[in-house]
Amino acid sequence: MSNCTINSVLHGTGDKAPLTKLIFSGATFIDGAETFLYMEKSLLLFLDISNSSLHRFSFLSYMEMLEHLDLSSSMLGDDSVEHIVCIGANLRYLNLSSTKVSSTGVGVLAGHVPKLEILSLSHTSIDDMALLYIGMMLSLKVVDLSNTNIKGTIPVEGMDCQMVSSLAALQNLACLERLVLEQTKVRDADLSPLSSCKELSHLSLNCASLTDATLHLLASLPRLTYLSICEAVLTNSGLDSFTPPAALRVLDLRDCWLLTEDAVSLFSKKHPQIEVRHEAVPLLSSELVSSNRASLSQPSSRTSRMKSKQKNMPLSQFFIDQRLKYSREELLALQYSFLSLNSPDDTGIILSELQLDPIN
């Protein structure tokens, strides 16, 4: 019943409908209080009311068997989290992305969702305090914290001037497999606790403040199969010296603008089992195809290219990489200046491939 205008569900006489799954994504409710009167709420296992017009959520308190709850892009706020607490015992999937929930609401939830495996808080106002509460949800396997106010540090209690990594709270999550920290403000040093999360298989860290140090830190994760570190200040030498985990199969380096085509090509050749994603990759692929076609149709073209290359070689001794004269901070400033010249359509957020699917 997605994208519909709804007055009530199964209004009629007789027994209440024993539904187990309801999808109201994008629905407009005429009377939210009346909507669920004519159904057996205690049997419902799956409820999707994302992007709906509901602004009161007291009906949730009666859905005690609920395992999957999607409230994303709804008007849910901290004052309504108590209704989720009432049904938290069986919840395995909870999507609160793009809601009005803050770290305070996450704190209310902590301790009441013992079976929760998937949690999305992307595009909310949560900060590093929320990580302390998330660290108490010990069954979590997938956590999406993208586009939030997380900075990666938190002051030591009683010592405001001394900061520690807020991500250390995630070390309590022994089952954590997927973590999304895209578009947050974490820095290299703040990520050191992640090296203890040995079950991590998917990690997305699209942050402009990250450098080669993060790349090498993550090399110690034995089960890491997918790593996205887009928009980072990675260098050719950093990529060349990176020893990826044996399990790594996808390395997303898009918008790592300091990396050159040669560096990406060299890494791909050294690690053919890894799918490298970077702006230079399509170019490399097309050049390879063109080269193969040329070698078949023009047997003597190789000699011509070599002669041409030799003719142009003296120019290389005068080439100087102009990026070397800038500091890291200046490079970042240049990057932001470049982005500001692009149209809004060119700077949209690339959706993560780590979809928050319900656990079957």
Distance spanning both ends of the chain, measured CA to CA: 22
Tokens of 119: 């949690």
* C-alpha distance from residue 312 to each of 12, 115, 265, 292 (Å): 84, 65, 22, 23
What's the CA angle centered on 188, arms 185 and 192, to 5 degrees? 110
pLDDT of 92 higher than 60: yes
- Say what the pLDDT of residue 8 is: 57
Residues β-bridged to residue 276: 251
Give SS3 for 349.
coil
CATH class of 201-342: alpha beta
The residues spanned by each domain of the chain are 1-155+163-195, 201-342
Tokens of 244: 């990826």
Q: What is the pLDDT of residues 291-322, one digit of tens each?
A: 444 444 444 444 444 445 444 444 444 344 44
Same fold flag, 1-155+163-195 and 201-342: yes
Q: What is the pLDDT of residues 152-198, one digit of tens each?
A: 999 887 666 788 999 999 999 999 999 999 999 999 999 999 999 99
* Domain spanning 1-155+163-195: CATH 3.90.76.10: no
Q: Are 9 and 38 in contact (CB under 8 A)?
A: yes
Give SS3 for 106.
helix
pTM, whole model, 2 decimals? 0.78
Q: What is the pLDDT of residues 110-154, one digit of tens each?
A: 999 999 999 999 999 999 999 999 999 999 999 999 999 999 999
Which residue type occupies 155?
Answer: P
